[in-house]
Amino acid sequence: MAAVLLSSSAFFFFLTTIFLFSISSWEVEAHPVSTLINKKLYNNLFLHKDDTACPANDFYTYRSFIEATKYFPRFGSTGSLATRKREIAAFLAQISHETTGGWATAPDGPYSWGLCFKEEVNPGSNYCDSTNKEWPCYPGKSYKGRGPIQLSWNYNYGQAGKALGFDGLKNPEVVANNSLIAFKTAIWFWMTEQKPKPSCHNVMVGRYVLTQADMAANRTVGFGMVTNIINGGLECGIGSDARVNDRIGYFKRYASLFGVQTGPNLDCENQKSF
């Protein structure tokens, strides 16, 4: 076979093309979430997160969110394209409710005000479970809700800190002071199974198989089960609930912006909590 000779300029162009293709391919593989939600879409989801009316303004940055996702390679990268988009939309909907600053007649609607708060206002307690000896409370510390998922209780702070490399018991305030850590705690909670609860991730990507206990409790796979995992003790099994409906409202808006269906079983009004 005859050899093909390239001029120096053509050879340089060839190498440059291969290099750029390799970089582009690496970025798609290494950062799958950023290929599904760019900065423009992120800002459209959270239209008012940086308003001066929101105590968390300028805290929940797109860069911190994307950086946090890199620590959890299965997040937003499992299943079909529609499944991946639906999981991200569901996650963002849940953290939006947890941090919402919206109200019924809010500008752009109540579901445009996610990520407005970074810590719980006027907590009813310091969320210290003194009976938990594995994750003992540190004197003078409050384990109130902080971050996108409103991480609460000493045992959650302790476990999150151990998994993510910070001292959640002695320094729980870091979740409200460091944007990257804040997002990492939320995705950690989303990805982590805490038996008998499955992980929110496995539920949303269709990898969770209902148990006999689930069926007896009328729990069904879908967004409603995710709500049950996050706050079922207060919101599920009590009929129609405004908090559950707020979560669903966010999810419907975000799913529409992602161009996917929400899937069935959105509420948990007839489910027993875990």
Give Cβ neighbours of residue 239 (< 8 Å, ≥ 6 apart). 269
pLDDT of 7: 46
Rounded Cα distance, 190 and 251, in Å? 15
Rounded Cα distance, 221 and 209, in Å? 8
Q: What is the pTM of this model?
A: 0.88
Residue 15: is its pLDDT beyond 70? no
The domains of the chain, with CATH numbers, are 32-117+193-274 (1.10.530.10), 120-177 (3.30.20.10)
Residue 19: is its pLDDT beyond 50? no
pLDDT level of residue 3 (50, 70, 90 thresholds): very low
- Residue 151 pairs in a beta bridge with 146
Mean pLDDT score of the chain: 91
Could you report the per-residue pLDDT of 129-139, keeping only the tens digit for each? 999 999 999 99
Mapped onto helix, strand or coil, the DSSP state of residue 146 is: strand
pLDDT of 26: 34
Q: Is the previous residue joined to 196 through a cis bond, with omega within 30 degrees of 0? A: yes
Q: Answer left, alpha or beta for residue 142, where phi above 0 means left and psi between -120 and 50 means alpha.
A: beta
Residue showing tokens 């805290």:
59
Work out the average pLDDT over 54-77.
98
pLDDT of 185: 98
Work out the average pLDDT over 49-67.
98
- Residue 119 pairs in a beta bridge with 146
Q: Answer left, alpha or beta for residue 79, where phi above 0 means left and psi between -120 and 50 means alpha.
A: left
Residue 179: is its pLDDT beyond 50? yes
Could you report the per-residue pLDDT of 34-51, keeping only the tens digit for each? 999 999 999 999 999 999
pLDDT level of residue 31 (50, 70, 90 thresholds): low
Backbone angles phi, psi at 254, to 5 degrees: -70, -40
Could you report the per-residue pLDDT of 190-211, keeping only the tens digit for each? 999 999 999 999 999 999 999 9
Options 87, 98, 120, 235, the catalytic residue = 98
pLDDT of 236: 98
pLDDT of 8: 45
Compare 1 and 120 and report the one with higher pLDDT. Answer: 120
Work out the average pLDDT over 237-251.
98
- Residue 197 pairs in a beta bridge with 194
pLDDT of 229: 98
Residue 23: is its pLDDT beyond 80? no
Residue 4: is its pLDDT beyond 60? no
pLDDT of 32: 83
Rounded Cα distance, 111 and 272, in Å? 27
Work out the average pLDDT over 101-123.
97
Active site residue 98: yes
Give Cβ neighbours of residue 151 (< 8 Å, ≥ 6 apart). 145, 157, 160, 175, 185, 186, 189
Q: b or e along 153-183 (b: 16 or more beta carbons within 10 Å of the residue's beta carbon)?
A: bbbbbbbbbebbebebbeebebbbebbebbb
Which amino acid would we find at residue 205?
V
- CA 233-45-181 angle, to 5 degrees, is 65
Work out the average pLDDT over 217-222.
98
Give Cβ neighbours of residue 236 (< 8 Å, ≥ 6 apart). 224, 227, 228, 244, 268, 269, 271, 272, 273
Work out the average pLDDT over 88-94.
98
